[in-house]
Structure 1
Amino acid sequence: MNNGDSTAIFSTEAGFIALNGSVKIQILELLKNGSKSFDEIVNHTGKAKATISVHLKDLRSCSLLEEHVDPDDRRKKIYSLRCQYVACSQEPGLEHYTDMLKIISSTDFERFGSLVCVFHAVQYGFLANGINCDPIMRNIGRDVGKSFAHSLISTEPDDLFAEMEVFWEKNDIGKFSVLSKDPLKLEVHDFFACKSLPIKTKVLCTFVKGVFEGVFIDKFAIDCTMENISVCNNNCEPCILVMKEFKKLL
């Protein structure tokens, strides 16, 4: 979590904005995972409602977020990002990046898999250099998912999920299971061997969301958003992904 001395850089249609202030950065980090209500933002930050109102007003004036009326309750407001998180002056990635390089230089390199180690090193390397690669990795994940979809035959959801599970295990991508279908909720385990490595901080959550979105775009002709509702922690628990938004593609 950023502290009061950290600075984050965000990209908007008008250019780059450097933002200093832990509460504002907390709010924008929360909104990276999808739109949130005013009450959700208050609960997440632990600040007074009046304080959050001031911060939200400031962020709107900078075109960093936008406000909408909640379709389920017009008395309430929901907030979403109008920017992309580009970089932060303080990231935990440097330590993990150094540890990953040590693994690559050790005899564990072959045991964990050379491509897996290099892939994780690239992810931590972005963080170590202060770059938030989530938007890029999500887009790459979507492209990879669309490419995976070319190897899948099924177009019916149940058959597709069964085929995907076999495909994932066969190609050492990881494992997943369907927890519910309405809304669609998936539990993803050990994606690209993340759990087998001694470094237990997740860096692939955004990438795996993009992979599923890419498969669904190709197979179901829908533009969808998968949201990770699980907590990323040092235990590297499974990701719980929920389909939040989707629309039919023309």
Structure 2
Amino acid sequence: MDSRGRPGRPSGIREIDLYSTPEGARAVGNPVRRVILAALREREHSFDEIVALSGRVKSTVSVHLQEMAAAGVVGSRPDPDDARKKIFFLTGDLVGTVSAEDRIADALSAYAGVYGAGAADPFAFYKLTFRTVRVLLMQEGILLDPLLTRAGEWIGEELYPAVADPTTEVFCTNIARFWEDHNLGRVEVAGTEPLTLLVYDCFECEDLPVTGRPACAFDSGILRALFSGHYGRPTAAIETRCYSMGFDHCRFEVVPEDGGGERGG
């Protein structure tokens, strides 16, 4: 969608968001468009609201919206309160972000580990495969956290019947047993207000580079789906500590998505 600079290397753009659309993936690097789309990921917005949050004049916002609509990234419908106006919404999902600043220069072998045929851990090869793909993407500055979160949610929905229990204590015990049985890590309950889970030997991030940011989007998605099913309402699993942040464990706080509960450190 951006035409400035050499193909594939937009001038002055440090981050590019990738969106799925009915017509395929679309790259969005323009800062104004990224702000607009970030707002639309939260909820639908009227044209006037978009003008206010973007900080641009109406004519500029109109051009951006028209071009994003033509690219299949946004759609619109008549405002029920005023048919002369429109309400704008996303037509796809954020897949990931490409960021030059987030590229890592470390050798893959530093994080991929060594796999030996006939290793005692039957899951070692699959861990190596997952880890290798993640590190290769990070070397290119490609962050697919939104996509990994959705993949985790799908798996969590399928897993839920196998670990479900009406009591939270037994439910958490079942999750911990599943994680251990499948060599995903060791899960402990560290607190109840909010419900806090610690994961040691995390399969998703234990050997990833230390970036200072949480890296367990896949686990977050699984836990979100599991606890949403358990509580019967949308529930988030917010990662506040991670191996990739320099800790020796991952820490998730399970809170309602309406904002209940406070995040700790």
TM above 0.5, yes or no, is yes
Partner residue, 1:42:
none
CA–CA distance in 1 between the matches of 2:18 and 2:236? 21
**Structure 2 residue matching 1:150: 3-state secondary structure:** helix
TM-score normalized with structure 1 length: 0.60
Paired AA for residue 174 in structure 2: E
Alignment of 1:148-163 (within 5 A): 148-163=159-174
Determine which of 134, 139, 147 is the counterpart of 1:123: 134
Partner residue, 2:235:
224
Partner residue, 1:9:
16
How many residues matched?
199
Structure of greater Rg: 2
TM-score normalized with structure 2 length: 0.57
Alignment of 1:1-250 (within 5 A): 7-11=14-18, 16-18=27-29, 84=94, 85-95=96-106, 97=108, 99-100=110-111, 103=113, 107=116, 110=119, 113-192=124-203, 194-195=205-206, 197=207, 204-230=215-241, 233=244, 235-246=246-257
After the TM superposition, which segments of 4 or more aligned residues of structure 1 sit over 6 Å from their partners?
Answer: 12-15
CA–CA distance in 1 between the matches of 2:101 and 2:119? 32
Paired AA for residue 171 in structure 1: H
Contiguous gaps of at least 5 residues in structure 1 = 36-55, 64-81
Specify whether residues 236 and 6 from structure 1 end up closer, same or farther in structure 2 by C-alpha distance, changes over 3 A only: farther
Specify whether residues 58 and 177 from structure 1 end up closer, same or farther in structure 2 by C-alpha distance, changes over 3 A only: farther
CA contact (8 A) 1:6 1:89 kept: no
CA–CA distance in 2 between the matches of 1:100 and 1:109? 21
Structure richer in helix, relative to its length? 1
Contiguous gaps of at least 5 residues in structure 2 = 1-11, 43-52, 66-89, 259-265
Q: CA RMSD in A?
A: 4.4
Report deviation, 1:125.
Answer: 1.9
Identity of aligned residues (%): 15
